[in-house]
């Protein structure tokens, strides 16, 4: 499509560029022909001109259409590869990069690059083609006048290059500050409840205004630069026209040129001037596109720190589920100087339930992140059935781990779609599977109570549901993982754990009591590990202290502690 657009571009330019030549002929006919053949020459020339204008206009319209469509296609492809690259990045990347910035790259920057590569490129090519044709015709009409005019052009071109560089850097800064503004807006809008609870609407508006003010400031700078450049190129255009008139007048006086020739020449010179101005606009847009493009390519080309879908896949019959952390040391990439684990070791036998407890911030969730391979340990290793998880296919690994978190995140689609999200292939999950998963997760009752049942839309991040409801849907979602394995889908919630190795980050005593073992995290390692009763018996142990500290001990707990 791009190529045919270029074809139409060449046709429209060539056809249109022949017009001034024939116009010159018309004028000379008017001046010089005898009355006998005057009217017939004039008519045929005018018909020819009308044809030229018609063909040129039509070819131009087709070119604009083709360019628009191919532009949209480029933007679409760019967006797709960018989104795909973003979703492949490691979790650490998202600790460093803000959502709003990525959204801005996806929407604004892709549009800018698309425009620079199509509409703008097409206009730029047209300018180049017209300028080239114009200059050739100038030489054809009057070589001496053309040589004279062209001496003025090179200094202007040098100026344009310097200007383009500066514009490119400003444009990059504008896009960066726009991304910051979008980031702020995105975060505040998606957490509107918190903004409102603290009555921060006005101050947030002011903060946002500050950011967009900065965008405006840079845009103004860009506008001044642009205006200056256009002014300068306009002025140089006028100087060229004036000198052509002067020199052309002299040539006419010495009978080296006719009126028609001078008119054609002036029209070509004017045309070349317009094309150069068009080219400079193209050039500045192109530089803007480059500014946005550099960032986009960096992101599209970025190699995630670890692969998504490469590595060892264990056969189902070989998968037992023994988990082990061997001398793991780890610090988050954004806080390398604050180690979370040092030489931590923990073994969870296959099929057992391990409760992980510890003070807030001791690294319980981090343990799960390492197991899911959202981050890699700095030293030591995590193994599943003796295999280092760095050798396993991360996609396979995660698809065999069901996660239910305290504050589960749902997507803003229907309850049924949220539950089916847990399956490897959601399109193969039947409505019966979904209902069964909901029943087991004790969610069926409240879902049926909604007027739209399973089609109820849960709102962004599930805001239209209560915390408990969200959690039960998340449990049903973890069940959907096993929709194919009929035998696992049983009646009770406890069954989610059957046949699996389970890590529970626990606060409630009842959960801890039912676990096979309890690991206590503190001071960057596992400080105690054993059965719950065993750990409680240790009067000086951290576990006992943690249990004693709980604000409102339940009766069962008080009983246990009094033993
Ligand atoms: N993505 C992250 N980047 C940098 N530091 C992080 C990140 N996530 C957590 N941390 C830090 O790592 C430490 C352990 O956090 P983690 O969430 O594992 O603790 P936790 O034991 O689960 O806490 P809680 O019981 O309060 O939920 C904390 O100091 C936390 O500030």
Pick the residue whose CA is nearest to atom 16 on ligand 1. 363
CA of 366 relative to ligand 1 center, distance in Å: 6
Q: Which domains does the chain carry?
A: 2-301 (1.20.1560.10)
pLDDT at site 324: 95
d(C-alpha 500, C-alpha 320), whole Å:
8
Atom of ligand 1 nearest to the CA of 335: 4
Of 544, 563, 553, nearest in space to 357 by CA: 544
d(C-alpha 105, C-alpha 500), whole Å:
41
Whole-complex ipTM = 0.97
d(C-alpha 174, C-alpha 222), whole Å:
9
pLDDT at site 157: 67
Pocket of ligand 1 (CB under 6 A): 95, 332, 334-335, 340, 358, 360-366
- Number of helices (H) and strands (E) in the chain: give both, helices first: 22, 8
Per-residue pLDDT tens, the chain, 563 aa: give them. Answer: 666 766 777 777 777 777 788 778 777 777 776 666 677 777 877 787 788 888 878 887 887 888 888 888 888 999 999 999 999 999 889 988 888 889 888 988 898 888 888 878 778 888 888 888 888 888 888 888 888 877 766 666 677 677 777 877 888 888 888 888 988 998 898 888 888 888 889 999 999 999 999 999 998 988 888 788 777 777 777 777 787 888 888 888 887 888 888 888 888 888 887 787 777 778 778 877 887 888 888 899 999 888 778 888 888 888 888 999 999 999 998 889 989 999 999 999 998 889 998 888 889 989 999 999 999 999 999 999 999 999 999 988 888 887 777 677 888 889 999 998 888 787 888 898 899 889 888 889 889 999 999 999 988 888 888 877 888 888 888 876 544 333 333 333 455 666 788 888 866 666 677 788 999 999 899 999 998 888 888 888 888 888 877 644 455 555 555 55
Distances from the Cα of 431 to the Cα of 120, 154, 420, angstroms: 50, 72, 9
Residue from 366, 370, 378, 525 to probe ligand 1 pocket by mutation (most atoms less than 8 Å from CB): 366
Atom of ligand 1 nearest to the CA of 406: 27
Contacts of residue 256, Cβ cutoff 8 Å, sequence gap at least 6: 142, 144
d(C-alpha 338, C-alpha 331), whole Å:
6
Atom of ligand 1 nearest to the CA of 369: 18
Pick the residue whose CA is nearest to atom 3 on ligand 1. 332
- DSSP sequence for 345-366: EEEE-TT-EEEEE-STTSSHHH
Cα three-residue angle 424-429-435, rounded to 5 degrees = 125
């Amino acid at each position: 499509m791009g190529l045919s657009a270029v074809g139409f571009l060449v046709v429209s330019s060539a056809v249109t560029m022949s017009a001034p030549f024939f116009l010159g002929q018309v004028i000379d006919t008017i001046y010089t022909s005898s009355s006998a053949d005057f009217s017939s020459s004039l008519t045929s020339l005018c018909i020819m001109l009308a044809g030229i204008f018609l063909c040129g206009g039509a070819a131009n319209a087709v070119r604009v259409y083709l360019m628009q469509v191919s532009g949209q296609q480029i933007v679409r492809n760019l967006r797709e590869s960018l989104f795909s690259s973003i979703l492949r990045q490691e979790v650490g990347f998202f600790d460093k990069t803000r959502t709003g910035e990525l959204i801005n790259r996806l929407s604004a920057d892709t549009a800018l690059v698309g425009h620079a590569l199509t509409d703008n490129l097409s206009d730029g090519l047209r300018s180049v083609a017209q300028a080239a044709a114009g200059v050739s015709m100038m030489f054809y009409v009057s070589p001496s006048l053309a040589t004279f005019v062209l001496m003025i052009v090179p200094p202007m071109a040098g100026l344009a290059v310097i200007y383009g560089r500066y514009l490119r850097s400003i444009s990059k800064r504008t896009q960066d500050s726009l991304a910051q503004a979008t980031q702020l807006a995105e975060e505040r809008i998606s957490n509107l409840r918190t903004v409102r609870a603290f009555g921060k609407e006005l101050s947030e508006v002011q903060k946002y205004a500050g950011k967009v003010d900065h965008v405006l400031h840079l845009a103004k700078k860009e506008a001044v630069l642009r205006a200056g450049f256009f002014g300068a190129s306009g002025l140089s255009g006028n100087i060229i026209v004036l000198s052509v008139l002067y020199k052309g007048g002299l040539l006419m006086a010495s009978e080296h040129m006719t009126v028609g020739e001078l008119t054609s020449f002036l029209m070509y010179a004017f045309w070349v001037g317009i094309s150069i101005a068009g080219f400079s606009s193209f050039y500045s847009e192109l530089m803007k596109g480059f500014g946005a493009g550099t960032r986009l390519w960096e992101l599209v080309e970025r190699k995630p720190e670890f692969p998504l879908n490469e590595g060892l896949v264990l056969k189902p019959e070989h998968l037992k589920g023994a988990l082990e952390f061997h001398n793991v040391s780890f610090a988050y990439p954004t806080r390398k100087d604050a180690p979370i684990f040092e030489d931590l070791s923990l073994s969870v036998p296959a099929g057992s339930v391990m409760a992980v407890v510890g003070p807030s911030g001791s690294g319980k969730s981090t343990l799960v992140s390492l197991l899911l391979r959202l981050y890699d340990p700095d030293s030591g290793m995590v193994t599943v059935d003796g295999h280092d998880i760095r050798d396993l296919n991360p996609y396979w690994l995660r698809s065999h781990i069901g996660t239910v978190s305290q504050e589960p995140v749902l997507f803003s689609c229907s309850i049924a779609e949220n539950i089916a999200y847990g399956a490897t292939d959601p399109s193969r999950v039947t409505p019966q599977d979904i209902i069964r998963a909901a029943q087991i997760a004790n969610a069926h009752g409240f879902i049926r109570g909604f007027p739209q049942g399973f089609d109820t839309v849960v709102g962004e991040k599930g805001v239209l549901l209560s915390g408990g409801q969200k959690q039960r849907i998340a449990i049903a979602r973890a069940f959907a993982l096993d929709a194919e394995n009929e035998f696992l889908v049983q009646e009770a919630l406890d069954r989610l754990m059957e046949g699996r190795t389970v890590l529970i980050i626990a606060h409630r005593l009842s959960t801890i009591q039912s676990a096979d073992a309890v690991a206590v995290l503190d001071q960057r390692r596992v400080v105690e590990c054993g059965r719950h009763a065993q750990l409680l018996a240790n009067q000086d142990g951290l576990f006992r202290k943690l249990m004693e500290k709980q604000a409102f001990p339940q009766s069962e707990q008080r009983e246990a502690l009094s033993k």
